[in-house]
Each structure stands twice: as C-alpha cells, then as structure tokens.
Amino acid sequence: MPNGGIVEVNTVVLSANAFPQTEKHSVPFGNCVIEYTLQRCERKTLAIHVYPNGSVAVAAPLMSDHDAIAAKVKKRAAWILKQQLQFAAYPPEMPERRYVSGESIRYLGRQYRLLVKQADIEQVKLLYGQLVVEVPNPADHLKVKFRVQNWLRSRAEVVYAERYAHCLTLVSKLRIVPLQPGFQLRLMPTRWGSCTQSGKIILNPELVAAPKECIDYVITHELCHLRESNHSLAFYKLLATVMKDWELRRKRLNELVEVRYV
C-alpha cells in the first residue's frame, strides 16, 4: 500500500474503527468533476489518498468545515488528476483467484504457476518454477485457497521481519525509533502498508509478491510516518534522505504487482 498514490495505497491508514461515517462529495475542476469519499476521525491534519482504481478518499479532523475540506480538495485537484492518469496506465485489477492449477502466483517479484496435486499429507512448496499445493482433494478450492494464503502469510512474516530490520537501520539515521517495535499483517484490498496514529506498522501479506527493494520502500515509507504523519513536502524530504530512489521503487511496485482482490 499500496497509502495519495499507492501506497498512498498504501499508506497512512487508520484503524477500522477510526472512521465512524463515510460521506460522498464532489468538486468541479475545469471540465472535470472530482468525486471523493470523506471520512472524519480524530486527527490533526487533512489527508488525501488516490488509489489504483482511481478513487479518492479524504480523511479529515472531526470538526473540519466541509467547505474548507472541499477547497483543499480543489486545491489539490491537479495532483489528484495526475495520480489518476498514472494509475490508469498500470495493469488492471486482477479478478479473484480461483485457486486452480495453471493460475499465476507472484512471489518476491517472480511468477510461479500454481500446481494442485492429490496427496494424503497437505503441504505447499516451491519447485521448479511452480507453487505446488498438495491436498487430499484438489477440487476443494477452499482448502487450496487456505493452504496458499497460509503459505504466503508465513513467507511474508519471515521476509518482512528481515526487511523490517534492514529498514530500521536506515531510519535510525533519522533517529526514528518505533514506540511499538515490529509489525502486524492484515489483508487490505487497496493498500500495501499503513501506519496508525498510535505508531503501529501494518503490512499487507500480499506485498510478498513484490521484489524486496519494493518491500523495503513500503516499510521505510511507513516508518517515516512515525516522524511525519501526512504526505507533506517534509515527509517526502525525510523519505528521500534515507531512500533516494523511492520514486523508482514505487513506480516498479505499481507496475509490477497487480492489485488483486483476495
């Protein structure tokens, strides 16, 4: 989270209970109309997120005046349209997996073909460019789904722990120290990662589909939110201090790994 942008999909995300109500609004901009959802929560600043499907979400302080919010959205309209155009050039969202032999599963930037085989003992393994899933009944797609997602999640825990430790060394130069060390995994349909107001780092297990340098980008992005909670110029300056090529990594992530409904 891939949060605006992807990740801006990724990116500053609050807990599911943080937003008590979602409203739909729009503002005119030239010949266009920008539609957005508005969610109010206990935060100090306004944040605008643009997601790969082109949708726009605004998170605003509880007592914000709606006209002031609309004015800020309109002020950022050119940036919003630019983000939407960039996302429109990326691969489309992939359909829900069926978990049958022949499907493609991406892991750490490489594509593997899913091969479902009958076996008495259930297991999942990478073998000769294939992700082999052995189950008693190959036609039991729910069982195959359970095994594949469990395998991806277990690999994500291992890979993320390694990359999180690496990224901590990067941000330590900025004297960024998490109040809540470590991370949590959570499936999120439109975000690769998030940082809550309490400083908790949350990562999407599906991000394990991406190359390690892209995973590093998402983790470092979220760690930098511990210092700068929004996507201000100060935030991106902070991020660039420890990861000069963050834009290239974000671009590769968006182009290489499709957003998929899991």
Going residue by residue through the chain (262 aa), what tens digit of pLDDT does each one get? 333 333 333 333 333 344 446 889 999 998 889 999 999 888 888 999 988 778 999 999 988 889 999 999 999 999 999 888 877 766 556 667 889 999 999 999 999 999 999 999 999 999 999 999 999 999 999 999 999 999 999 999 999 999 999 999 999 989 998 888 899 999 887 789 988 878 889 999 989 999 999 999 999 999 999 999 888 889 999 999 999 999 999 989 988 876 554 3
CB atoms within 10 A of CB 103: 16
Considering the domain boundaries, does residue 57 fall inside one?
yes
**CA 51/CA 2 separation, integer angstroms:** 8
Q: For residue 154, give both structure tokens.
A: 């277990």
Per-residue CA distances from 84 to 5, 7, 72, 232 (Å): 8, 13, 17, 19
Query: Residues in the chain, how many?
Result: 262
Show the domain range for 36. Answer: 22-88
- Number of domains composing the chain: 1
Tens of pLDDT, residue by residue over 179-214, are 888 999 998 877 899 888 788 899 999 899 999 999
pLDDT in tens, 101-118: 999 999 999 999 999 999
Q: Would you state the structure tokens that stand for residue 120, as one six-digit string?
A: 């008495």
Cα–Cα distance measured from residue 132 to residue 168, given in angstroms and rounded to the nearest whole number: 34
Residue 36 lies in a domain: yes
Q: Is residue 56 part of a domain?
A: yes
Calpha distance 33→27 (Å, rounded)? 6
User: Within 13 Å, how many C-alpha atoms sit on residue 41's CB side?
Assistant: 21
Burial of 68 (0-12, 13-18, 19+ CB in 10 A): exposed
User: What gap in Å lies between CA 241 and CA 162, rounded to an integer?
Assistant: 21
